[in-house]
Amino acid sequence: MNRAAAAIFLAVLCSACPKRIEFGPEGQLTDAEQVFQRVRQNQDNVASLEGDAKLHVDSPQQSGTLGMFLSVTRPGLLHLETFDFFNRPLASLVADGTRFGLYQAQTNTYYQGPASPQNVSRFLPVVLPGEELVAIMLGQVPLLPPERMTLEMDMKEGVYVLTLFRGPATQVLQVHPKYLRVVKSQVRGVPGYDLAFDDFLERGNLIFPGRVELIASQAKTKIQLRYQQVKLNGRPDLTLYDLAPPEGAKVVEVDDAGRELAAPPPESTPPPAPGS
């Protein structure tokens, strides 16, 4: 057998071999409820994040990559700042779960109003509630409340496959066998989106994905957040969630749908009293 044929034979042989699977300290788990509870526990361990990231968006409306500073804290605290290629500030968005504020640097305009999904998702081509957006940025998967569930082992991919069923909806979770964190989530039967997580970081007893991807197939949209330097579960800097507009900025009030509200008429000065 010549060298080329031997190389092809070895490549085919290796591709047919299943991946060596590394399980956690408990070994391979076979109970769906146990895996489900471990997933919930492990992803709920991260409550806050602060640091830098790259945001890449690919959609029919817009495509490109921006630098981002972000600070997020459960359940609904958001502080996002975006920068252009030359690291010049473009916009900053803050939400506290009830109100939101968005500052556009180019126009020196500050938009404020209720923290509705339409308002807190202004940096994105998809609309998400604030608490859901915070959870995804913290590497968490919104889980379908299951009526029943099944567990299988995908030897080829080297992952658990945990499937949650509720009415017509199913959620298929690929779960890392060692970290017991979700690698992929696919929701079918109801409107939804897919999630993918990768580049897991070990920070003490915390396991955190360095890359988060959201795929909304119906909207032909993919959003990827790749973390660079982040701090997990630090003491939140509450000044980052201050909703006061910058001094000198034009302030515009918006409604739940993000539509500008008419400015109130200026207060008229009452006429002087007779004899004054």
CATH code of 176's domain: 2.50.20.10
Q: Are 173 and 144 contacting, i.e. CB atoms less than 8 angstroms apart?
A: no
Give a yes or no: residue 236 inside a domain. yes
The two tokens of residue 231 are 């701090």
pTM, two decimals, is: 0.82
Beta strand pairing call for 206-216 and 169-175: unpaired
Amino acid at 38: R
63 to 212, 224, 226: CA distances (angstroms): 17, 11, 16
CA distance 101 to 79: 10
CA distance 151 to 185: 14
CA atoms within 13 A on the CB side of 175: 34
List the domain range (segments joined by +) for residue 140: 26-253
Query: How many residues comprise the chain?
Result: 276
Please give the tally of structural domains in the chain: 1
Question: To the nearest 5 percent, what fractions of the chain are helix, strand and coil?
Answer: 15, 40, 45
Does residue 273 lie in a domain region?
no
**158 lies in some domain:** yes
In a domain, 71, yes or no: yes
Cross-strand bridge partners of residue 147: none
**C-alpha closest to that of 199 among 47, 53, 40:** 53
Tell me the H-state helices in the chain: 3-16, 32-43, 117-120, 130-137
Domain-located, residue 275: no
In a domain, 270, yes or no: no
Any idea what DSSP says for residue 240? G
Instruction: Report if residue 63 sits inside a domain.
Output: yes
Look at residue 146 and tell me if it is in a domain.
Answer: yes
* Per-position pLDDT tens, the chain of length 276: 555 554 444 444 445 455 678 888 888 999 999 999 999 999 999 999 999 999 999 988 888 898 999 999 999 999 999 988 778 889 999 999 999 999 999 999 999 999 999 999 988 888 999 999 999 999 999 999 999 999 999 999 999 999 999 999 999 999 999 999 999 999 999 888 999 999 998 877 888 999 999 999 887 899 999 999 899 999 888 899 999 999 999 999 999 999 998 766 656 556 665 555
